[in-house]
């Protein structure tokens, strides 16, 4: 089989980095696209043959430049992983229009534009696939996450639309919905609390996730590798929960044990 090529957005760190590492360790050539120049170091750590392109996925001009660069270096693209996603918690009454627009531009607009621009390269692959990194917020919501939840629900609908439009062209599209994943985004959030409150929150997370812990980025990466590869050859249009069972839980009643 010829060398498989994957483009992973926001792959300098966190879940994207774990996806890039998982694919690289299983023989893929990986293009890491990230707003942070630390992506150059990430690519070095992946080994030889991988590429870093600095890109703000929420900026249409930079996304165009990214695809020009990628199509100049590679003939075909076997997998596109739309992983870039940001949030800025705010209740609906306090949510700035600029923050709404930015969240939509990165989480949804970037996935749309990159998918469209990558289509010619995906069509040249023999069994191409798109994996969109959504979130449990697409299905189960919390106060203060209105823009993020709307963007991720949109990403799931986008994924299903791609599945029916691109399936006949041999391109599968699926979404992965993580719950709590221990990345920098997550530790930065916990670091905002003092020690006592942080350990209370950690205990609450352990109580509400049936597995009793957050997922590791590497666990999400293995799900992505499965969906991207031949073992998932008939899976098209699913939103796959990878949340340790978190979203199966209804009301949390600590006193009921
Ligand atoms: N961490 C979680 O608990 C969790 C849960 C559910 C879903 N997700 C989703 O998983 C994806 C990755 O999350 P994470 O926790 O690894 O994120 P993260 O905050 O750790 O960031 C990962 C990378 O995103 C890059 N990035 C940020 N904005 C960018 C932009 N505009 N363009 C390009 N790169 C950009 C950063 O530079 C960083 O390298 C996101 O779509 C997120 O919504 C995360």
Examine residue 251 and state whether it is found in any structural domain, yes or no.
no
What is the number of domains present in the chain? 2
Examine residue 246 and state whether it is found in any structural domain, yes or no.
no
Q: Are residues 111 and 186 in the same domain?
A: no
Q: Are residues 85 and 210 in the same domain?
A: no
Q: How far is the CA of 34 from the centre of ligand 1 (A)?
A: 10
Q: Report the C-alpha gap between 181 and 220 in whole angstroms.
A: 8
Question: What is the predicted pLDDT for the residue at 189?
Answer: 77
Q: Would you place residue 254 in the very low, low, confident or very high pLDDT band (cuts 50, 70, 90)?
A: low
**Pocket probe mutation, ligand 1, options 7, 8, 9, 14, max atoms within 8 Å of Cβ:** 14
Question: What is the predicted pLDDT for the residue at 249?
Answer: 84
Q: Are residues 76 and 191 in the same domain?
A: no
Tokens of 221: 């990466």
Q: Are residues 20 and 70 in the same domain?
A: yes
Q: Are residues 168 and 186 in the same domain?
A: no
Q: Would you place residue 185 in the very low, low, confident or very high pLDDT band (cuts 50, 70, 90)?
A: confident
CATH of residue 106: 3.40.50.720
**1 has a pLDDT exceeding 60:** no
Question: What is the predicted pLDDT for the residue at 207?
Answer: 86
Q: Are residues 225 and 110 in the same domain?
A: yes
| Residue 210 belongs to domain spanning | 182-214
148: annotated active-site residue:
yes
**Candidates 112, 148, 193, 251; catalytic one:** 148
Per-residue pLDDT reduced to its tens digit, 5-17 = 999 999 999 999 9
Identify the residue whose C-alpha is closest to ligand 1 atom 36. 10
Q: Are residues 65 and 158 in the same domain?
A: yes
Q: Are residues 107 and 193 in the same domain?
A: no
Question: What is the predicted pLDDT for the residue at 242?
Answer: 98
Examine residue 226 and state whether it is found in any structural domain, yes or no.
yes
Residues near ligand 1 (Cβ within 6 A): 9-10, 12-16, 34-36, 55-58, 83-86, 106, 133, 135, 178, 180-181, 183-186
Return the number of other C-beta atoms located less than 10 Å from residue 117's C-beta: 18
Q: Are residues 114 and 227 in the same domain?
A: yes
Q: Are residues 97 and 223 in the same domain?
A: yes
When pLDDT is averaged across residues 67-85 and rounded to a whole number, the result is 98
Q: List the one residue out of 176, 170, 180, 155 whose CA is nearest residue 226.
A: 176
Backbone phi and psi for residue 29, each to the nearest 5 degrees, phi listed first: -90, 135
Q: Are residues 162 and 54 in the same domain?
A: yes
Examine residue 112 and state whether it is found in any structural domain, yes or no.
yes
Q: Are residues 60 and 119 in the same domain?
A: yes
Examine residue 247 and state whether it is found in any structural domain, yes or no.
no
Longest dimension (CA), the chain: 60
């Amino acid at each position: 089989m010829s060398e498989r090529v994957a483009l992973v957005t926001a792959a300098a760190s966190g879940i994207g980095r774990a996806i890039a590492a998982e694919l690289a360790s299983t023989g893929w050539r990986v293009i890491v696209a990230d707003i942070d120049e630390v992506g150059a170091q990430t690519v070095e750590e992946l080994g030889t043959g991988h590429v870093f392109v600095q890109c703000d996925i929420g900026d249409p001009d930079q996304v165009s430049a990214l695809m020009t660069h990628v199509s100049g270096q590679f003939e075909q693209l076997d997998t596109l992983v739309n992983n870039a996603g940001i949030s800025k918690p705010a209740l609906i009454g306090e949510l700035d229009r600029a923050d709404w627009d930015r969240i939509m531009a990165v989480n949804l607009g970037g996935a749309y534009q990159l998918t469209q621009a990558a289509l010619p390269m995906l069509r040249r692959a023999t069994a191409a696939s798109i994996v969109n990194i959504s979130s449990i917020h697409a299905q189960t919501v919390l106060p203060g996450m209105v823009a993020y939840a709307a963007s991720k629900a949109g990403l799931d609908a986008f994924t299903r639309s791609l599945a029916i439009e691109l399936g006949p062209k041999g391109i599968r599209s699926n979404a992965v919905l993580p719950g709590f994943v221990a990345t920098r985004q997550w530790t930065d959030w916990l670091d905002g609390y003092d020690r006592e409150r942080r350990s209370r929150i950690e205990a609450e997370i352990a109580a509400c996730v049936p597995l009793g812990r957050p997922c590791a980025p590497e666990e999400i990466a293995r799900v992505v590798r499965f969906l991207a590869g031949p073992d998932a050859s008939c899976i098209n249009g699913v939103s796959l929960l990878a949340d340790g069972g978190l979203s199966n839980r209804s009301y949390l009643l600590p006193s009921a044990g």
